Amino acid sequence: MISKRHFVSKLKELGYQFKEQLHYQERYRKKGGTHIIHVPRKDILDEAYVCSALRQAGVPPKEIDAFVAEVKT
């Protein structure tokens, strides 16, 4: 399980910014692009979801593993 706060911080490092809050999720969009990542409005996120979203954002597998190991609760 990974804290949403850590995941959102990582998205911001990658150039994503908050766009819209929906009922069950928030949308983050890449600055200057069209790629959108939907983030559930929960305090704790599933590790599989975080890995999948970071892969879609173009983060290398080794960096994803390091991030998850660092922030895993």
Listing DSSP states for 15-45 in one string gives TEEEEEE-SSEEEEEETTS--EEEEES-SEE
pLDDT tier, 72 (very low <50, low <70, confident <90, very high otherwise) = confident
Cα 44 to chain centroid, rounded: 12
d(CA 50, CA 67): 10
Q: Per CATH, which fold does 2-71 belong to? A: Metal Transport, Frataxin; Chain A (3.30.920)
Q: What is the pTM of this model?
A: 0.91
Of the candidates 68, 10, 63, which has an alpha carbon nearest to the alpha carbon of residue 37?
A: 10
Tens digits of per-residue pLDDT, 13-23?
A: 999 999 999 99
pLDDT at 43: 93
Domain extent listing, the chain: 2-71
Task: Determine what percent of the chain is predicted with pLDDT higher than 90.
Answer: 92
